[in-house]
Amino acid sequence: MKAVIGTMGTWVGLGAAAGLGLAAGGFAYAARWPGSRVFGDALIAPARPGELALTFDDGPNPAWTPRLLEMLAAHEIRATFFLLGGYAQAEPELVRRIVAAGHVVGNHSWSHPDLALASRARIREELTRTREMLEQITGVSVRYFRPPYGSRRPATLEIAREMGMTPVLWNAMTTDWSETSGELIAERLGAKIDRITRRGRAVNIVLHDGGHLAKQVYRAPSMAAAQILVKRYQPTHRFVTVDAWA
């Protein structure tokens, strides 16, 4: 999926466009991909070229998140982790380690459902339960939410905002979860980073340290890609957490 960059500043929202009468296929597309800025308001990336946010989804993963934390610490870089509530409940020590290292922790729902298909009550339950779990574990308030699959049905983003959380999407992603080569993942993301930087935008990068189908899923390629990107871009770019843009 080609990254699309917001043209309206940090906040990209075209609520009015929802009335344009999209065909059913268009609706499904728009509801799932952050590049399609049709519904609601979500944070993607501001017009601050040279800034990179590394964001990691679907953890905590006891097999890979600790190695990622070591790598980030070695380079003195802070990142943003969108955690699943169910995994956080099972790995509270690891969640505390993430926060203690200075990273930002966000809400990625409890069980990673497609919220485009969920009732409002279910959405609220997924978000509330996760926020309460993360806050109970860390003592830090949860201010950011990333919808599973980037699903951006208006109700989902609305409920997140009502709960005081900012929905966060991204502008640089590849299929890191299904690749076997960290170099390939880094090469694809690097091309997007360079292009977005040239266009005068900050880059909001998604990688996966976990997986919603299994808590200890193998993530060596994604973790290798993160290290390659850190080494490549640290001399020229500034790594930030998403709260720097809110």
The yes-or-no answer on residue 75 being catalytic is: no
Sign of CA pseudo-dihedral 181, 185, 186, 191: positive
Stretch near Zn ion under the rule CB under 5 A, chosen from 5-13, 52-60, 126-134, 174-182: 52-60
Q: How far is the C-alpha of 187 from the C-alpha of 229, rounded, in Å?
A: 9
Q: For residue 20, give every residue at least 6 positions away whose Cβ sits within 8 Å of its Cβ, in sequence order, or none.
A: none
State whether residue 141 is helix, strand or coil: coil
Q: Is 126 in the site for Zn ion (CB under 5 A)?
A: no
The yes-or-no answer on residue 212 being catalytic is: no
Measured at the CA of 131, the angle between CA 128 and CA 135, to 5 degrees, comes to 140
Q: Is 209 in the site for Zn ion (CB under 5 A)?
A: no
Size of the site for Zn ion (CB under 5 A): 3
Give the nearest distance from C-beta 214 to Zn ion in angstroms. 13
Amino acid at 28: A
Amino acid at 179: E
Q: Is 57 in the site for Zn ion (CB under 5 A)?
A: yes
Give the nearest distance from C-beta 58 to Zn ion in angstroms. 4
Is the distance from CB of 100 to CB of 138 less than 8 angstroms? no
103, 208, 212, 237: the catalytic one is 208
Q: How far is the C-alpha of 40 from the C-alpha of 16, rounded, in Å?
A: 9
Sign of CA pseudo-dihedral 22, 122, 176, 42: positive
Identify the residue among 41, 58, 126, 176 touching Zn ion (CB under 5 A): 58
Which residue lies nearer to Zn ion by CB, 51 or 176? 176
Stretch near Zn ion under the rule CB under 5 A, chosen from 21-29, 36-44, 57-65, 185-193: 57-65
x/- track of binding to Zn ion for residues 146-175 (CB under 5 A): --x---------------------------
> Which spans of this chain sit near Zn ion (rule: CB under 5 A)?
57-58, 148
Residues involved in catalysis: 57, 208
